[in-house]
A and B are shown apart, each in its own frame.
Chain A
């Protein structure tokens, strides 16, 4: 046991050391920014749940049923999230971390290594769920006017939930790694997880929840509410946990203690079992993970056809980088699930526009359609930012330790960054323009709004991509084990905040003149000189902002990479 805690020490010490000022730079701006953002989310979660529960309380008969159903839904969602996050973290911590060969060379047993890694994995997977579930249950406590015991039982329950999911995940991963090399399991689990998520999103979307507000389908809602009172299976830990919270809220101490005992014994039994299994098979699985697995898909080559020839119009070194980037991107299996998610996001985005009941609107349709179209510019730009944050921002960091190749190559850093820019700009401009044009066609907007949307997006796409490449270079981390997660770093946060500001500013700058032009057109009036001047100044300013966003971050990035 001592060795287990000894093995945890590097993690604690590293965490403390990471808080120290580095190279004379203080960490407080970073902590302040993260802290503020965390607090905003925390407070937002609390406010939303408090308001929802407050509203439920005002509905006779159904209010309490809805609040209790919400608890069981939340417990199931938290359980599923924890399970998935624990599986990924267990795989990384137990089989794929770079320091594992060193640990296994030390005079400690593999059980000790397993236990220390399991503790770290449990903490990493759970702290965020625990932190953000608290405001949810705080709002329950306040609405139901409970005492301190409710919060204590909630805390014990959520800790047991973390332990159960972590122990279950480790058992799954231990058996999985015995059969397949760990690197392959991660790919399969990520892909399966994303398919499941896609399925849930699509099912939720395709059942058309907007139909619930339709009085014609009210009978089905009554049936739905009836089904809400159906008890869950008593054999599932999620049912016990839900019962703990429910009985704690209603003051049924006996039932509460019984369910806590069930949950706790289940957690400790699973931990015991996972340790037993680890003693038998963990090291074998680790050994297996050290061998390189074969490629998931064998390369397919067609005689006489080479996709690289499509890029022959590029200068030679640009083509070399483009080919390298495309190959690396598509061969990295960690990127695939993100691609699936992106496709789902776009499909749902367009589907939402297609189901808008434009023909049955009580408000004048032309007005609303064009308002939607204008808002759609901002919405599409935010979708773009999400995609860019995931794929473009980390692209410089993705060079990793191989960045020396770029530095030693006869290509300037400036050129390297511009190659990156154009590589992502071209597909993204096509994608986002497609999104905007198709959604505008579905909205049946006026030609003026169609022109405005496409031209605004035409400026915003390079601006967002330029910021991602430039700031990605400024905050590049070539030593990261997982550069794809760069967007969750301080630099990623700066990029997201700046993008949000840019998009909001451009939309606000355009909103005033566009509204006045649109209204004048609607009333059949001409555009006054004032309106024209206002429009020109606003558009020139928005355009200049976009130009600045394209060039300035790339210059900053170039400077930062040159002086490394």
Chain B
């Protein structure tokens, strides 16, 4: 469902992403981990169509993001790391706005929006302006709006930032459920326990280059570690700059 081909982003002063190649299959949860400034958010923003790559290609559900960005974006639910929203809209109005952009049927919206608000503990806040929301509430509203149009692909940058433990648990459960229904999920995160717990495969990026990828066991093998956790694997690969 997701294919990155020689994806490169050169900011002029720094190459944030360097010839990145990867494939993510339908129903797979792919974790993208790496230290600060590794190029995770740049990759995610290019995949979401927010940033234009310097070179290389992004194929989303068989559609080239450069050739057919609008069609490709229709397949995606994008959740950024920082919850910037239209502060002067209410939660419900923001969901309506998203539904209109993604062409969600009116009846479907009327049925789904209250459910999502309920699910994300925002029901009592639906008619309040977003400016009154806390950081975590804004993050939950963004996740709710990303799920509104039943996307085939979810691209998530740091999904659990600002969420309380119960919301973290709920989001994890939702993501697992969606993956079981063949939704492809691409998650960038710093929280290794989440990657370990949630992801089928993990890619490790450092200084814009994909150093290693595979299941947790495969990564342990690459790092030549036996019964180690993802944290040890991460630190070993980063330290040794092991390439696949």
Whether a CB of chain A sits under 8 angstroms from the CB of B114 is: no
CB pair A324 B51 closer than 8 Å: no
Q: How far is the CA of A295 from the CA of B129 in the complex (A)?
A: 8
Whether a CB of chain A sits under 8 angstroms from the CB of B126 is: no
Count, chain B residues at interface, CB 8 A = 32
CB pair B127 A299 closer than 8 Å: yes
Which of B49, B97, B132 is the one whose CB lies under 8 Å from A292?
B132
Which of the 9-residue segments A106-114, A233-241, A313-321 touches chain B?
Answer: A313-321
Whether a CB of chain B sits under 8 angstroms from the CB of A23 is: yes
Chain B neighbourhood of A411, CB < 8 A:
70, 101
Which residue of the partner chain B has the closest CB to A322? B100
- Known contacts A320-B97, A327-B93, A402-B85; decide if A408 and B78 are in contact (CB<8 Å): yes
Q: How far is the CA of A563 from the CA of B48 in the complex (A)?
A: 14
CB pair B12 A331 closer than 8 Å: no
CB pair A410 B50 closer than 8 Å: no
Whether a CB of chain A sits under 8 angstroms from the CB of B131 is: yes
Chain A neighbourhood of B82, CB < 8 A:
401
CB pair A328 B86 closer than 8 Å: yes
Which of B73, B74, B80, B88 is the one whose CB lies under 8 Å from A331?
B88
Chain A neighbourhood of B85, CB < 8 A:
402, 405
Whether a CB of chain A sits under 8 angstroms from the CB of B89 is: yes
Q: How far is the CA of A412 from the CA of B72 in the complex (A)?
A: 11
Chain A neighbourhood of B52, CB < 8 A:
562-564
Which residue of the partner chain B has the closest CB to A564? B51
- Known contacts A316-B100, A316-B103, A317-B101; decide if A408 and B76 are in contact (CB<8 Å): yes
Whether a CB of chain B sits under 8 angstroms from the CB of A332 is: yes
CB pair B89 A409 closer than 8 Å: no
CB pair B93 A402 closer than 8 Å: no
Chain A neighbourhood of B78, CB < 8 A:
404, 408
Interface flags, A428-453, vs B, CB<8A=1, else 0:
00000000000000000000000000
Which of A292, A402, A564 is the one whose CB lies under 8 Å from B84?
A402
Which residue of the partner chain A has the closest CB to B86? A402
- Known contacts A316-B100, A317-B101, A410-B71; decide if A327 and B50 are in contact (CB<8 Å): no
Which of B48, B102, B131 is the one whose CB lies under 8 Å from A407?
B48
Taking the nearest CB of chain B, how far is it from the CB of A288, in angstroms?
15
Chain B neighbourhood of A332, CB < 8 A:
88
Q: A-B contact count, CB below 8 Å?
A: 75
CB pair A317 B100 closer than 8 Å: yes
Chain B neighbourhood of A323, CB < 8 A:
93, 96-97, 100
Chain B neighbourhood of A407, CB < 8 A:
48-50
Chain B stretch 76-112: residues in CB contact (< 8 A) with chain A: 76, 78, 80, 82, 84-89, 93, 96-97, 100-103
Whether a CB of chain B sits under 8 angstroms from the CB of A176 is: no
Chain A neighbourhood of B50, CB < 8 A:
404, 407-408
Q: How far is the CA of A331 from the CA of B90 in the complex (A)?
A: 11
Chain A neighbourhood of B96, CB < 8 A:
320, 323
Chain B neighbourhood of A562, CB < 8 A:
52
- Known contacts A299-B127, A324-B89, A324-B97; decide if A408 and B70 are in contact (CB<8 Å): no
Chain B neighbourhood of A331, CB < 8 A:
88, 129
CB pair B102 A410 closer than 8 Å: yes
Q: How far is the CA of A125 from the CA of B48 in the complex (A)?
A: 43
Q: How far is the CA of A400 from the CA of B100 in the complex (A)?
A: 21
Whether a CB of chain A sits under 8 angstroms from the CB of B69 is: yes
Chain A neighbourhood of B86, CB < 8 A:
324, 328, 402, 405
Chain B neighbourhood of A319, CB < 8 A:
100
Chain A stretch 381-436: residues in CB contact (< 8 A) with chain B: 400-402, 404-405, 407-412
CB pair B132 A408 closer than 8 Å: no
Count, chain A residues at interface, CB 8 A = 29
Chain B neighbourhood of A328, CB < 8 A:
86, 88-89
Interface flags, A1-28, vs B, CB<8A=1, else 0:
0000000000000000000000110000
Which residue of the partner chain B has the closest CB to A183? B131
Which residue of the partner chain A has the closest CB to B78? A408
CB pair B88 A412 closer than 8 Å: no
Chain B stretch 44-62: residues in CB contact (< 8 A) with chain A: 48-52
Q: How far is the CA of A328 from the CA of B94 in the complex (A)?
A: 11
Q: How far is the CA of A405 from the CA of B45 in the complex (A)?
A: 12
Q: How far is the CA of A411 from the CA of B72 in the complex (A)?
A: 11
Chain A neighbourhood of B103, CB < 8 A:
316-317
Which of A23, A404, A409 is the one whose CB lies under 8 Å from B101?
A409
CB pair A400 B84 closer than 8 Å: yes
Chain B neighbourhood of A402, CB < 8 A:
84-87
- Known contacts A408-B48, A410-B71; decide if A292 and B100 are in contact (CB<8 Å): no
Which of B50, B93, B100 gathers most chain A CB within 10 Å? B100
Chain A neighbourhood of B100, CB < 8 A:
316-317, 319-320, 323
Interface flags, A544-564, vs B, CB<8A=1, else 0:
000000000000000000111
Q: How far is the CA of A405 from the CA of B138 in the complex (A)?
A: 13
Taking the nearest CB of chain A, how far is it from the CB of B93, in angstroms?
7
Q: How far is the CA of A401 from the CA of B84 in the complex (A)?
A: 6
Taking the nearest CB of chain B, how far is it from the CB of A361, in angstroms?
51
CB pair A409 B73 closer than 8 Å: yes
Q: How far is the CA of A150 from the CA of B73 in the complex (A)?
A: 68
Taking the nearest CB of chain A, how far is it from the CB of B113, in angstroms?
14
CB pair B48 A327 closer than 8 Å: no
- Known contacts A327-B88, A402-B84; decide if A410 and B74 are in contact (CB<8 Å): yes
Chain A neighbourhood of B132, CB < 8 A:
292
Taking the nearest CB of chain B, how far is it from the CB of A115, in angstroms?
30
Chain B stretch 181-230: residues in CB contact (< 8 A) with chain A: none
Q: How far is the CA of A316 from the CA of B97 in the complex (A)?
A: 10
Chain B neighbourhood of A324, CB < 8 A:
86, 89, 93, 97
Taking the nearest CB of chain B, how far is it from the CB of A346, in angstroms?
26
Q: How far is the CA of A412 from the CA of B66 in the complex (A)?
A: 12
Q: How far is the CA of A323 from the CA of B101 in the complex (A)?
A: 12
Chain B stretch 13-56: residues in CB contact (< 8 A) with chain A: 48-52
Q: How far is the CA of A468 from the CA of B82 in the complex (A)?
A: 29
Taking the nearest CB of chain A, how far is it from the CB of B82, in angstroms?
7
Which residue of the partner chain B has the closest CB to A323? B97
Taking the nearest CB of chain A, how far is it from the CB of B74, in angstroms?
4
Taking the nearest CB of chain A, how far is it from the CB of B134, in angstroms?
10
Which residue of the partner chain B has the closest CB to A291? B132
Chain A neighbourhood of B97, CB < 8 A:
320, 323-324
Taking the nearest CB of chain B, how far is it from the CB of A476, in angstroms?
14
Which residue of the partner chain A has the closest CB to B69? A412
Q: How far is the CA of A562 from the CA of B50 in the complex (A)?
A: 8
- List 13 additional A-B contacts (Cβ < 8 Å) besides A316-B103, A564-B52: A24-B12, A317-B100, A317-B101, A323-B93, A324-B89, A324-B93, A324-B97, A332-B88, A408-B78, A410-B70, A410-B71, A412-B69, A562-B52
Q: List 22 A-B contacts (CB under 8 A).
A: A23-B12, A317-B101, A320-B96, A320-B100, A323-B93, A323-B100, A328-B86, A328-B88, A331-B88, A400-B84, A402-B87, A404-B50, A404-B80, A408-B48, A408-B76, A408-B80, A410-B71, A410-B74, A410-B102, A411-B70, A563-B52, A564-B51
3 closest residue pairs by CB, A with B? A320-B100, A401-B84, A407-B50
